[in-house]
Structure 1
Amino acid sequence: MISCIIIEDQPPAQRVLKKYIADIGNLNLKATFADALLAMDFLNNNPIDLIFLDIHLPKISGIDFLKVVKNNPNVILTTAFSDYALESYEYNVVDYLLKPFSFERFVQAVSKVPLKKNIENRKRNIIELEQYPELIFIKSGYEHIKIEVANIRYIQSDADYTEIYTTERKYLSQEPLRYWEGYLDSRKFVRIHKSYILNISKIQKIIGNRVHFEGDINLPIGRAYKEGFMKLVLK
């Protein structure tokens, strides 16, 4: 069960979200707020898996809320304005629902939320395979391809999929980028952009806002991730 809250100041939009949440079955609505400041007080004492967040709110906007909210909760934006779509993904939102949205589109967005139970089970399974403590398996058709984690250079988001780049080749995974961010060792793999996670050990150099690897490969560092990334690398 995914615990969630709604931050939305318009009663009609609240009613739609409440109905969709009730209909989907695996969501547990804990509270509804008309402004983000009240929600912050609630979140300080109540861990939540998912937030349905409007952008145009009283007191502080949804974007400003994303800048200061702690514990990196999963966020699905619900808004009537498309202007903020690109900026919102700098803050690692799960999806961006443009009002009015259908129940089918709502279900599609919720399906992207990584389930903590699944991630913990996957980690437990890897640990139990003592002879392969540094392996992941990527499903390709009817096969599961073994990849050594140490050989991964970076992982790139590709819509609802991800591309895993190793020192030898590229693999396509059905898991979203947020899954890998929660699954891989955060001491070794770090999010540097809305579209990239990289293996710190594979970095050759950092120049300005770009990370460089062997073979003249370089990736951008998103402004929302740069401070945390540099602290981790330079500690």
Structure 2
Amino acid sequence: MIKYLIVDDEHIAHDIIKGYCDLLPNMKLMKNCYDALEAFEYLNKNQVDLIFLDLNMPKLKGFEFLKTLPSPPKVIVTTAYKEYAIEGYELNISDYLLKPFGFERFLKAVNKAVSSTARVQLPTEVVGSNTTAETIFLHSNKKYTQVVIDTIQYIEAAGNYTKVITTTETITVREKISDLLESLPKDYFLQVHKSFAVAVKHIKSIEGNRISIGKNVIPIGKMYKTNIVQLLK
């Protein structure tokens, strides 16, 4: 379960963010905070995985509040002011959403935050002896499916779509492979062809210009051979 906090002085912002989160599985709102001091008081006694943080608030500004936290959770900034983006990334925020933002952009931000920190409890038969796993939300066939990143074997470009091949299923999303890779852990996936990126841990063998993963054979593109060389060093 991903526990989150909304910190914003506008009621409509709370409604929009909660409405988007309600479309996703395993997202639990812990508290609506309408200024940073209220959030600071809550975090002194409670823990969350993710904060949706506005910047221009009374009493204490968003980044000033963030600097007071000794060990902050992942933060997605939600603001109408783009000029503070650089400062935000210097504070190691997960993403910077400019109001008004749509659901697709919101989902991408949540994926970035969730794939790097949040954990969901899973049956051991899904992920072996490890009972926690990083996940990503994939949009396909008008629904959002939470997928354990560890089960993804490779992804394949198909025009404006991308196929995500896991150990149990294939999910086709309306997203370019380059955009999807941005939402996935960079040290986990390796692009080996303009149309293919593979999960290193699922590579069975490498022979010539081919990679074997399970029962599938993935081609290695000429421009990506250096990636393989680096991998084998």
Q: Counterpart of 1:75 in 2: which secondary structure?
A: strand
Q: Please state how far the C-alpha of 1:91 moved relative to its aligned partner.
A: 1.2
CA contact (8 A) 1:161 1:174 kept: no
1:1-235 equivalent positions in 2, closer than 5 A: 1-112=1-112, 113-114=114-115, 115-117=118-120, 159-160=182-183
Q: Please state how far the C-alpha of 1:82 moved relative to its aligned partner.
A: 0.6
CA contact (8 A) 2:63 2:88 kept: yes
CA contact (8 A) 2:2 2:120 kept: no
CA contact (8 A) 1:162 1:174 kept: no
The separation in 2 between residues aligned to 1:12 and 1:48, in whole angstroms, is: 22
Q: Which runs of 5+ in 1 are unaligned?
A: 126-137, 143-157, 165-170, 176-235
CA contact (8 A) 1:160 1:174 kept: no
The separation in 1 between residues aligned to 2:185 and 2:14, in whole angstroms, is: 33
Count of residues in correspondence between the two structures: 149
Which amino acid letter does the alignment assign opposite residue 41 of structure 1?
Answer: E
Q: Please state how far the C-alpha of 1:28 moved relative to its aligned partner.
A: 0.3
Q: Counterpart of 2:51 in 1: which secondary structure?
A: strand
The separation in 2 between residues aligned to 1:59 and 1:174, in whole angstroms, is: 48
Q: Which runs of 5+ in 2 are unaligned?
A: 131-151, 156-164, 166-180, 192-196, 200-233
Distance 1:18 1:117, change over 3 A: closer
Distance 1:63 1:123, change over 3 A: farther
Q: Please state how far the C-alpha of 1:160 moved relative to its aligned partner.
A: 3.9
Structure 1 vs Structure 2 CA RMSD: 3.5
Q: Out of 27-36 and 10-19, give the one that drifted further.
A: 10-19
Which amino acid letter does the alignment assign opposite residue 54 of structure 1?
Answer: D
Which amino acid letter does the alignment assign opposite residue 116 of structure 1?
Answer: R
Which amino acid letter does the alignment assign opposite residue 57 of structure 1?
Answer: M
The separation in 2 between residues aligned to 1:26 and 1:124, in whole angstroms, is: 22
- What is the match of residue 130 of structure 1? none
How high is the TM-score relative to the length of structure 2? Answer: 0.53
Distance 1:174 1:102, change over 3 A: farther
CA contact (8 A) 2:108 2:183 kept: no
The separation in 1 between residues aligned to 2:102 and 2:88, in whole angstroms, is: 21
Q: Counterpart of 2:60 in 1: which secondary structure?
A: coil
How high is the TM-score relative to the length of structure 1? Answer: 0.53
